[in-house]
Structure formats: structure tokens, C-alpha cells
A and B are shown apart, each in its own frame.
Chain A
Amino acid sequence: MKSGGSLSIWFFIGVSLAVNGAIIFARGIYELAYPPEHQVVLYSLHANVWWGAVLLVLGLFFSLRFSPASERARTAAGKS
């Protein structure tokens, strides 16, 4: 959905997932190097590393797929 503007709603969602994913992934990497004193249950699975990575990849996909540049390219291709 473009909603009359150049930015799709999926672009905003992509940005949100990518930023949150990057923060969580970075925190997970930091905890690998410096394990926290108080550890959550199943800490050994390092959920923040892989879950952060999943969100980051998903977010980057949405951000790039629905970025203003690719939307413009798709519109131009549709017109030609």
C-alpha cells in the first residue's frame, strides 16, 4: 500500500524490524563476550543473537524491497 505517498507501510515495518533486530543482535554479541551476572532461563541458547539476526534480516528485506528507490523503479517499469 502506497497510500498516495512515496513510502509504503512495509518500508516503515522493515525499518522498525531492522533497527530493533540490530540492537538485539549487537547486545547478544556483547553478552557472548561479557556474560551477564544475572542470566535468564535458557540463556545458553543465546536467543538474543539468533532472534536479533532473524529480525535484522527480515527488516532489511522489507526495507530494501519497499524502499522509495525500488518503488520508483517498479513504477517506472510498470509504465514502460
Chain B
Amino acid sequence: MNPALLVLSSSTLVHLSPVDLVIIVFYFALVLAIGLYLKGQANTGEDFFMAGREMTAWVAGLAFLSANLGSLELMGWAGNSYKYGILAAHWYWIGAIPSMLFLALIMMPFYYVCKTHSVPGYLKLRFGQDSQALSSISFALMTVLMSGINMYAMAVVMKVVLGWDLNFSIIVSSVTVAIYVALGGLRSAIFNEVLQFFLIWAGALLIPILGLIEAGGWSGLKAKILLNLTEQHAANPGAYTHLWSTLGNFSDNPMGINWAGIVFGLGAVIAMGYWTTDFLVVQRVLAAKDLRSAELAPIIGAAFKMMVPFIVILPGLLGLALLRDGSGNLLRLVPADLAWSPAGQAQGLHGYDEVLPLMLARYCGPGLLGLGITALIAGFMSGMAGNVSAFSTVWTYDIYGALINKNATDEGKVRMGRWVTVIGVAISIGTAYLVMHAQSIMDYVQALFSFFIAPLFGTVILGMLWKRATKAGGFWGLLAGTLSSVGMYTWGKLDPSSVRYLALSDKAQDQAQNMFRALWCWLICVIVTVVVSLMTKPKSDAELKDLVYGLTPIPKQEHVNWFQSPIFWGAVVAIVFVILQIIFW
């Protein structure tokens, strides 16, 4: 076992009472009951893999958001807001809202009209089987690895926060996920994601409410943060509480990034790639009952996404202002490797990512604490279930059905889907134990996962909007983008000084490096796709019908009032988004 983990077993952040345990056990019983209840409604491929394509806009929208709202996300971004200040909110606002609206209003009609089961499935229709195989194999591999990492991360959090045994957490969570996804398929995963959405808000909303009361409101919070600024940013007091005004120079903010990295790297490439082509989230919207619901679902998700900083970013900022140790002195959180080292544990240090559980323990007594911990467990499990259900679909349709057994029956695909769900969970358990013995693998796999998304977005967006893009262009662009991103990451690891070229500044922190790397590999993908396409023969217009903008007749929607139309609600969300940027400028 990793030596750091042995140390962790000696201390826990909170202690649960019997009331808390009742709440946690009730959650496990409820999700298993939902899986059993839905067992009889997952008999066909459409039922098992696409939830029968009968989800309302609200259900699809909340599941779309929840699939991304795992506990790694909650705890990680709360920790990032402690570390980087309100800049972390960019990942919820410019790093989500424009791309969600783009998915809803521009891309969703193509996904929906061509009735694909997956994003690799769209690539097959548009660029042929080579692109489908490349993207589906990479996606399947990364998805199941991410599921294992989620599982491991949950076990570590349960150990740090509650002192639970790692094996116990891994086995209980994975068996539960395997049962309810294998029984009910995507419908079961979506049900539990919507349940998780409510549990997260019920369990986490009290922290910012009580925190703001204690801090004396937003102005009191800002004043307290000013007192605790790090030396580096004492000269720039807005560094932790302003979104844009400190992004003129790399050295003016704690992240070491400028506005171009945020706007182009995060907003235009990483976010667009993640929210529009990562099948884990797109699958939820494809399950909508009609095109209007499929367009409204990401807009509903965007509206709630804008509010998530209230329960994630604000607790991190409150931690920066309010957390005190047992003697009443300011509690300084530190990087996880330092906090979890034997020396760090001996000094009682806590990592950035522990800020959310620390704030939970600060305000929540028995009962409320159980609900907060249940929200974290629910987040982990639905993240795992989301990965496993997406893996099951991509494996069955894009690998098994496309490459191994092209004549598979619908019944055979459902059977395969159930088995692959269980096998996917088993591989995830293996990955979890692998990561346990070599923790640095986590960094590599997470990085690889994000690398894949940026070039995929380049390929999909060119495929949808540019009819001249050819089969060869799509494949070579995707391959070049993926290989270049891996190459840049490797260069950065072998030669840390390369950051001044890759991220345009030697002050760039990890997040800033990710933004610029994604931007470069997306550009490489697009350039290669365009150049190769111009050198090769395009498909005819007839072959591209229903796949490319301008050649796809969008079905007429039923007559709806203006206040029911996706464009109206998209505009409302866009206006609120702009207002938030101005308020926190």
C-alpha cells in the first residue's frame, strides 16, 4: 500500500453518529430498490442503452449536469477555490455555460436527427469506421480507468474523512453500482443521478448559508480574505475575489494564467470539447424524448450549473476566510502530497481538497453530517455509474457491434451490455487497486483523458459544420491532435522548463498548462483535418444528409409559445451568465 495511506489511517476529520449511519444506509437501500424496480423496463437496446429515449427535458437536463457533478468535482473545485480564489468559478461559468448552450442550440439537432447511440457512432457515420474505432477504443479505455480512479478516490476520501477501510469502501460502492446499472441500464443510472442532484443540494447548501452568516455576508467575507492573503498577492488584493480584473498579466493572479488562456483554452476548447463531445454527458441528452426536450435539457443543466459555485466555490472561499485550528489560529491548507506525507500528518496539516469536509464538520452536527457525507458518496457512485454506463454503450455498439460481431441481435446487445457493465466495474476495481500502488498513474490517466477530448471536439465540430471535411481528414486530424497532446504532456514532464513555451509563461500552474495544451492540440487537429481534407476527395452531399450543417433538414417542432422555446431560455441563461461576469468582474 502507498505509505501515505498507512499514515491516513491514524486520523479522521469527522466521526459519524448512529443517526448519520441510518441516513447513509437508507441511501444505499433506496438506490438498490430503484435498480430492482427498473429491472423490468430494460429489455431492448433502446431501453437499456438509451433509457427508451423517453426522458423529459428536466430529467435529462439534471442527469446531464449530475453526470459531471461527482464528488471529485465538488471536493476538487472547492479545494481549487481555496487555492486559486474565485478564478475557479471560471470552470463553472465560461468553462461550461457557452458550451452547454452551443450543444443545445447548434449541435444537438445533428446528434438527435442522425439517431446515433454514441459520439463515436456519429464519427462512423461522418468519417467512417477508422475514426470510430480510434475514438471508441480510447474512450472505452479512459472511461473505465476513470471509473476506477473515482472508486479509489472515494475510498481515500472515506478513509480520510471517516476512517473507513479502503477495501470496504471499494467493494460496497462497486457492488452497488454494478447491481443497479446492470439491472436498469441507463435509465437506472439517470434516476440515481437526478436523486444525487437533490441530495447534493440538500447536503451542501447549508455550508454557504451558515458560512456567509458567520463571515458577515459577501463584504465581510472579502474583508476576511484580504487579511489572509498570501504574500505573493498582497500587492493585488483583488486576486482571490475578482473573476477577470486580475487576468491581464500572468503574475497578477494565483493561477498564473491570462485572459487568453481562460477564454480560448478553457472556454473555446476544453469546455466545448467536454460538454459537446464527451459521451458520458452527451448520452444523457440523447435519451430525451424529442428534439425540443433534447435542446432544453442542456439549457436546464446550464441554468443549474451557474448556481453550483454557490455550493462549491463559496465554501472554498469561506474556508480561506474562516477556518481555524484548535487554538483559534488561522488554518492554512496545503498541497495534498505535503498534507498526506508522514511529516504533514505529524503536524496535523490538511490538504486543499479537504476544505469541503472541514466546512461540513464545522457547521453540521449529527444528521446533517450524515446527509452531507451521503451527498459525497452519492456523487462518487453516480460518477462511477455514469462512466460504466457510457463504457457499456460504447463497447457494445462501437466496438463489439461494429468490429467484433456485426450481426449481433438487439437481445444479444442487451445481454452484452449487462455483462459489460459487470466486467467494466470489475476492471474499475482492478484499476482502483493499481492506482493504490502507484498513485502517480492517477495524474497521467486524468491528463490523458482530458487530452483526448480537445482533439475530438475539433474533429466533431469540423464534421458537423464543414461539409468539405473528408474521411481521411477526420481520422488523421484526430490522430495528430491526440498524439500531439500526449507529446506535449510528455515534453512538459521531461523538461519542466518547457512550460514557458507550452503555456506562454514560466509562472503557469497546472490548470494554466492544461488550458494552453488543449488549445494547441485542438489547433493541430483542426489544421491537419483541413489540410488532409483539401487533398482528398469529399463525400457527396447526398451521403452527408442528416450529418452536416446545411444538409440536415431540422424537423419542424410542434407549435410552442415563445416562453417554451429553447432559444428563449438559452437567451435568458446567456444574459444571466453575462450579468454574473460583470458583478464579479
Q: Please give the residue numbers on chain A whose beta carbons come within 8 Å of chain B beta carbons, in ascending order.
A: 1, 3-5, 7, 9, 12-13, 15-17, 19-20, 23-24, 27-28, 31, 36, 39-43, 45, 47-48, 51-52, 55
B26 part of interface (Cβ distance < 8 Å): yes
Chain A min CB distance to B37 (Å):
7
Closest to A39 in B: B365
Minimum-distance CB pairs A-B, first 7 = A27-B367, A24-B367, A1-B59, A4-B41, A40-B365, A1-B56, A41-B362
Chain A min CB distance to B15 (Å):
10
Chain B min CB distance to A34 (Å):
12
Closest to A52 in B: B367
Are B30 and A15 interface neighbours, CB within 8 A? Answer: yes
> What residues of A have a CB within 8 angstroms of the CB of B220 in the complex?
none
Question: With A and B bound together, what is the CA distance between A53 and B10 in angstroms?
Answer: 37
Are A3 and B54 interface neighbours, CB within 8 A? Answer: yes
Closest to A54 in B: B202
Chain A min CB distance to B218 (Å):
17
Question: With A and B bound together, what is the CA distance between A5 and B362 in angstroms?
Answer: 42
Closest to B191 in A: A9
> What residues of B have a CB within 8 angstroms of the CB of A42 in the complex?
210, 213-214, 363
Q: Given A13-B195, A41-B214, A47-B210, does the pair A1, B54 have CB atoms closer than 8 Å?
A: yes
Are A24 and B371 interface neighbours, CB within 8 A? Answer: yes
How many residues of chain B are within 8 Å of chain A by beta carbon?
A: 40
Known: A1-B58, A45-B210. 16 other contacts (CB 8 A): A1-B54, A1-B56, A1-B59, A3-B51, A9-B194, A9-B195, A13-B195, A20-B23, A23-B23, A23-B370, A27-B19, A28-B367, A40-B361, A40-B363, A42-B214, A47-B210
> What residues of A have a CB within 8 angstroms of the CB of B23 in the complex?
20, 23-24
Are B54 and A43 interface neighbours, CB within 8 A? Answer: no
Are A40 and B30 interface neighbours, CB within 8 A? Answer: no
Question: With A and B bound together, what is the CA distance between A16 and B195 in angstroms?
Answer: 8
Question: With A and B bound together, what is the CA distance between A17 and B200 in angstroms?
Answer: 11
> What residues of A have a CB within 8 angstroms of the CB of B34 in the complex?
12
Are B54 and A47 interface neighbours, CB within 8 A? Answer: no
> What residues of B have a CB within 8 angstroms of the CB of A7 in the complex?
37
For window 362-395 of B, CB contacts with A under 8 Å fall at 362-368, 370-371, 374
Closest to B26 in A: A19
Chain A min CB distance to B301 (Å):
16
For window 345-370 of B, CB contacts with A under 8 Å fall at 361-368, 370
Q: Given A23-B19, A45-B213, A51-B368, does the pair A3, B41 have CB atoms closer than 8 Å?
A: yes
B447 part of interface (Cβ distance < 8 Å): no
Are A16 and B198 interface neighbours, CB within 8 A? Answer: yes
> What residues of B have a CB within 8 angstroms of the CB of A48 in the complex?
365-368
B199 part of interface (Cβ distance < 8 Å): yes
Q: Please give the residue numbers on chain B whose beta carbons come within 8 Å of chain A beta carbons, in ascending order.
A: 19, 22-23, 26-27, 30, 34, 37-38, 40-41, 51-52, 54-56, 58-59, 187, 191, 194-195, 198-199, 202, 206, 210, 213-214, 361-368, 370-371, 374
Main secondary structure of the interface of A (DSSP, over half): helix
Contacts A/B (CB < 8 Å), 18 sampled:
A1-B55, A3-B41, A4-B41, A4-B54, A7-B37, A9-B195, A13-B194, A13-B195, A16-B199, A20-B371, A23-B23, A31-B366, A40-B363, A42-B214, A45-B213, A47-B363, A48-B367, A51-B368
> What residues of B have a CB within 8 angstroms of the CB of A55 in the complex?
202
Residue from the list B187, B195, B202, B361 in contact with A3, Cβ < 8 A: B187
Chain B min CB distance to A78 (Å):
16
> What residues of B have a CB within 8 angstroms of the CB of A1 in the complex?
54-56, 58-59
> What residues of B have a CB within 8 angstroms of the CB of A5 in the complex?
37-38, 40-41
> What residues of B have a CB within 8 angstroms of the CB of A12 in the complex?
30, 34, 191, 195
Closest to B199 in A: A16
Chain B min CB distance to A62 (Å):
9
Question: With A and B bound together, what is the CA distance between A24 and B370 in angstroms?
Answer: 9
> What residues of B have a CB within 8 angstroms of the CB of A39 in the complex?
365
Closest to A2 in B: B54
Q: Given A17-B198, A20-B23, does the pair A31, B365 have CB atoms closer than 8 Å?
A: yes
Question: With A and B bound together, what is the CA distance between A49 and B37 in angstroms?
Answer: 33
Question: With A and B bound together, what is the CA distance between A40 and B214 in angstroms?
Answer: 12
Chain A min CB distance to B12 (Å):
15
Question: With A and B bound together, what is the CA distance between A5 and B47 in angstroms?
Answer: 13
* Residue of A1, A5, A36, A52 with most partner-chain B CB within 10 A: A1
Are A20 and B365 interface neighbours, CB within 8 A? Answer: no
Closest to B54 in A: A3
* Residue of A13, A16, A17 with most partner-chain B CB within 10 A: A16
Are A43 and B365 interface neighbours, CB within 8 A? Answer: yes
> What residues of A have a CB within 8 angstroms of the CB of B367 in the complex?
23-24, 27-28, 48, 52
Are A4 and B52 interface neighbours, CB within 8 A? Answer: yes
Question: With A and B bound together, what is the CA distance between A48 and B370 in angstroms?
Answer: 11
> What residues of B have a CB within 8 angstroms of the CB of A27 in the complex?
19, 365-367
Question: With A and B bound together, what is the CA distance between A24 and B19 in angstroms?
Answer: 8
Question: With A and B bound together, what is the CA distance between A13 and B193 in angstroms?
Answer: 11
Chain A min CB distance to B176 (Å):
15
Chain A min CB distance to B141 (Å):
31
Chain B min CB distance to A16 (Å):
6
> What residues of B have a CB within 8 angstroms of the CB of A36 in the complex?
365-366
Chain A min CB distance to B26 (Å):
6
> What residues of A have a CB within 8 angstroms of the CB of B22 in the complex?
23
> What residues of B have a CB within 8 angstroms of the CB of A40 in the complex?
361-365
> What residues of A have a CB within 8 angstroms of the CB of B19 in the complex?
23, 27
